[in-house]
Amino acid sequence: ASNVDSLSVDETGRASAVTVRGSLYWLTHRDGPARTIADTPGVRVRLPEMLGSGGQVAYVTDADGPDAVEIAYLPRASGDRPPRRLASGLLGRVQEMISDPDGERLAIASNDGRLLLLDTGEEEVEAAEPAEAVEKGPSGSTRADLHAATGAATPDSAVPADEHPGLSELIRSVNGPVRDLAFSPDGDWLTWSHPGVGRSLRQIKLARISGPGAPAIVDVTNGRFEDENPVFTEDGRYLAFLSWRGFDPVYDVHTGDLSFPLGCRPYLVPLSSATPSPFALSPDGRPAAGGLDPVDVPDGGTSEGSTVMVEFEGLESRVTPFPVSASKYSALAPVSGGGLVWLRWPISGALGETFANPADMSGRPTLEHFNIAKARRTELVDHLDWFAVSGDSSRLVVMDDGELRALPATEPGDGDTTVYLDLRRILHEVDPGAEWRQAYGEAGRIIRDYFWEPDMCGIDWDGVLDQYRPLVERVASPDEFADLLREVLGELGTSHAYVSPARRNEGPPHYQRAIGLLGANLVCRDGAWTIQRILPGDSSDSKARSPLAGTGIREGAVLTHVDGRPVDPVAGPYPLLTAAGGTTVELTFSPAGGGPSRRVAIMPLVDERPLRYQDW
């Protein structure tokens, strides 16, 4: 679990796309196998994003050097198809990426302040691919080949966004990157937090990106405060955001000084003046339970084809604080039923002595749900690290002290509604040399993109990277890699540039897990690993049953993939079944008589001796 970078939950909350050390896996929540989506040594993928319910997942990859978006197809939806790569080298350093509800468009926040829109349709991709292919280098190599061979950086804006099919620039910030992107339920509107002048001032902006009058951009707040994390409610009637605009000072008990430890609160904006605020006074009073009058509560969320209406006039004057205590809040997100969830962080001392348990000074937040219709707050999870919301907003996946679990989005989970995700099903093979080569190239790009002086103080940064790159091949430990990066940074002659080595002994506690056994005899015939015999076993012994029994796989079938990874013609499937005993894996077979491939989910044995004894 400590190696899980991020995840994106699918439309129904049944499975997630999970990134582990730069590789991407498809993990079903309850039972089922894990499947490899993208796992190339020396290539890092990040920021996975499900594209609606179409069985596709988008993510950022550095396979070409600079960032690009890649779209992969999930096998259960569209079969085995190669991924598509879009806008390579045109995005800058991608800070954030989200998809609209239908998966037809991505919004991308770049480090250079651009807010980009990228169409995900296949027609645009097919028109863009020849341009990449015809750019030849020495000996007929492509630009991507030269990147892979040299690791050299290329201009991230070689082609203007508006000249690339399907890619357009919505707005550009001159004060730093935009962040906290969110689409409306109908996909016609986009909101974000826009940086202002100063260290922390930000304002909420709203743009119509489809439909009449698009594009049109309006300011929701005036930029006097630090406003962040805007989201639309699922019914499309409200915009909510977090704002650090509380200036109620607290006296220090020892010296009498004043400070502002409680400055944040969520705020709500009715998008139309005709939409009632659940917190405003009503001439007819409020229901006994509080919240909105039942006649003002819609029967359901935004239905398919409905339109979110925004009344620009008086938008800022309709901002209303939630009736909750000021504190530290983050990760505001909409959930089903028109409600919201957020993280509320404890207020604690810098030394950690305010915690009840001195051994635990992590200060982890609490996950809370707010029902707008009833104006009621409920605690869902006492302490957690982070969470993600499913595409239909009905389920949450929570990371809690190294443990992933899925639970309802609107009420505390119980034994029947909570599913614990078995991460042992993800078997990730690490190639340290390839990781260090990739990390060296990415570190060089990050330093170039974020350095305080745009021209790198006149230093030939690409030349510095090329000078030290041969030493990467001699690195043998994380400490040596950190030492190498320190030497590279030293060439800049600047302060506040530090490198820390990766944690030692990272990953879960060491334990032995058995190799997965299939209860069958396999033989290699011309590089194809063929089922020679499935052991019959005996029904009197529950341990004497082959995992392939009853799956419909017959003798003569060829095992081609294990969890989406191709079977090596020499080593066979056994390296891919390492530590897979007792967990669910996916096997892909090519039938003996021809025809389409078949995928089956099985649980390999940890011990074949009872099965082989019964067969004997």
List the CATH number of the domain containing 527.
2.30.42.10
In this prediction, residue 1 has a pLDDT band, given cuts at 50, 70 and 90, of low
On whether the CB atoms of residues 330 and 345 are closer than 8 A, the answer is yes
CATH of residue 445's domain is 3.30.750
pTM score, whole prediction: 0.79
**Can you tell me the distance from the alpha carbon of 187 to that of 413, in angstroms, rounded to the nearest whole number?**
30
Position 18 scores a pLDDT of: 92
pLDDT at 511 over 70: no
Position 108 scores a pLDDT of: 96
Position 356 scores a pLDDT of: 55
**Mean of pLDDT values over 104-121:** 94
* 150: containing domain: 4-425
The answer to the question of residue 244 being in a domain is yes
* pLDDT tens by residue, 516-528: 899 999 999 989 9
On whether the CB atoms of residues 425 and 585 are closer than 8 A, the answer is yes
Instruction: Identify the bridge partners of residue 530 per DSSP, sorted by sequence position.
Output: 523, 558
Number of Cβ within a 10 Å radius of residue 525: 11
The answer to the question of residue 503 being in a domain is no
**Can you tell me the distance from the alpha carbon of 517 to that of 2, in angstroms, rounded to the nearest whole number?**
28
Higher pLDDT, 199 or 395: 395
Instruction: Supply the mean pLDDT for the chain.
Output: 83
Q: Quick one: 169 and 37 in the same domain? A: yes
Q: Quick one: 138 and 158 in the same domain? A: yes
* pLDDT tens by residue, 22-61: 999 999 888 888 888 998 999 999 999 999 888 899 999 9
The answer to the question of residue 575 being in a domain is yes
**Mean of pLDDT values over 94-113:** 94
The answer to the question of residue 391 being in a domain is yes
Q: Which amino acid is at 244?
A: W
Q: Quick one: 53 and 159 in the same domain? A: yes
Backbone angles phi, psi at 522, to 5 degrees: -115, 145
In this prediction, residue 383 has a pLDDT band, given cuts at 50, 70 and 90, of confident
pLDDT at 504 over 80: no
Nearest to 87 by CA among 57, 114, 117, 44: 117
Position 140 scores a pLDDT of: 33
pLDDT at 117 over 90: yes
Position 138 scores a pLDDT of: 32
Instruction: Identify the bridge partners of residue 116 per DSSP, sorted by sequence position.
Output: 108, 169
Q: Which amino acid is at 204?
A: I
- 3 state SS of 610: helix
**Mean of pLDDT values over 348-359:** 59
- 3 state SS of 556: coil
The answer to the question of residue 192 being in a domain is yes
pLDDT at 515 over 90: no
Q: Domain boundary at 382, 406, 425, which?
A: 425
Position 60 scores a pLDDT of: 95
CATH of residue 393's domain is 2.130.10.10
The answer to the question of residue 508 being in a domain is no
Q: Quick one: 438 and 560 in the same domain? A: no
Q: Quick one: 351 and 440 in the same domain? A: no
**Can you tell me the distance from the alpha carbon of 424 to that of 563, in angstroms, rounded to the nearest whole number?**
13
**Mean of pLDDT values over 433-442:** 93
- Listed in order, strand segments (DSSP E) in 120-249 are 167-172, 179-183, 189-195, 202-208, 216-219, 226-232, 238-244
Q: Domain boundary at 474, 490, 506, which?
A: 490
Nearest to 29 by CA among 503, 421, 487: 421
The answer to the question of residue 173 being in a domain is yes
Position 191 scores a pLDDT of: 96
User: Which letter does DSSP use for residue 113 in this model?
Assistant: S
The answer to the question of residue 74 being in a domain is yes
**Can you tell me the distance from the alpha carbon of 415 to that of 48, in angstroms, rounded to the nearest whole number?**
29
Higher pLDDT, 350 or 471: 471
In this prediction, residue 252 has a pLDDT band, given cuts at 50, 70 and 90, of confident
Position 5 scores a pLDDT of: 86
Which residue reads 């790569």 in tokens?
A: 85
Position 363 scores a pLDDT of: 76
pLDDT at 382 over 60: yes
On whether the CB atoms of residues 105 and 119 are closer than 8 A, the answer is yes
- Number of domains within the chain: 3
* pLDDT tens by residue, 354-365: 655 545 556 789
**Can you tell me the distance from the alpha carbon of 344 to that of 382, in angstroms, rounded to the nearest whole number?**
10
On whether the CB atoms of residues 110 and 91 are closer than 8 A, the answer is yes
Q: Quick one: 406 and 530 in the same domain? A: no
Position 513 scores a pLDDT of: 66
Nearest to 465 by CA among 443, 480, 450, 494: 443
Q: Quick one: 525 and 399 in the same domain? A: no
Which residue reads 């082989």 in tokens?
A: 612
* pLDDT tens by residue, 262-316: 889 999 999 988 888 888 777 766 666 566 666 566 655 444 446 788 889 888 8
On whether the CB atoms of residues 38 and 420 are closer than 8 A, the answer is no
**Can you tell me the distance from the alpha carbon of 474 to that of 328, in angstroms, rounded to the nearest whole number?**
46
Position 334 scores a pLDDT of: 94
Q: Quick one: 413 and 458 in the same domain? A: no
pLDDT at 158 over 50: no
Position 295 scores a pLDDT of: 58
The tokens describing 249, both together, are: 């000072």
Q: Domain boundary at 396, 425, 454, which?
A: 425
* pLDDT tens by residue, 396-419: 999 888 888 889 988 887 778 888
In this prediction, residue 144 has a pLDDT band, given cuts at 50, 70 and 90, of very low
Q: Quick one: 82 and 225 in the same domain? A: yes
CA–CA–CA angle 178, 180, 184 (5° rounding) = 115
Q: Which amino acid is at 293?
A: D
DSSP 210-241: SSTT-SEEEESS-SSSEEEEEEE-TTSSEEEE
End-to-end Cα distance, the chain: 42
Gyration radius of the chain's alpha carbons: 27
Higher pLDDT, 388 or 140: 388
Q: Quick one: 450 and 561 in the same domain? A: no
- 3 state SS of 320: strand
Cα 506 to Cα 4, 6, 270, 376, 437: the distances in Å are: 12, 17, 47, 41, 19
pLDDT at 188 over 50: yes
Q: Quick one: 53 and 11 in the same domain? A: yes
Which residue reads 């920021």 in tokens?
A: 47
Q: Quick one: 141 and 162 in the same domain? A: yes
In this prediction, residue 143 has a pLDDT band, given cuts at 50, 70 and 90, of very low
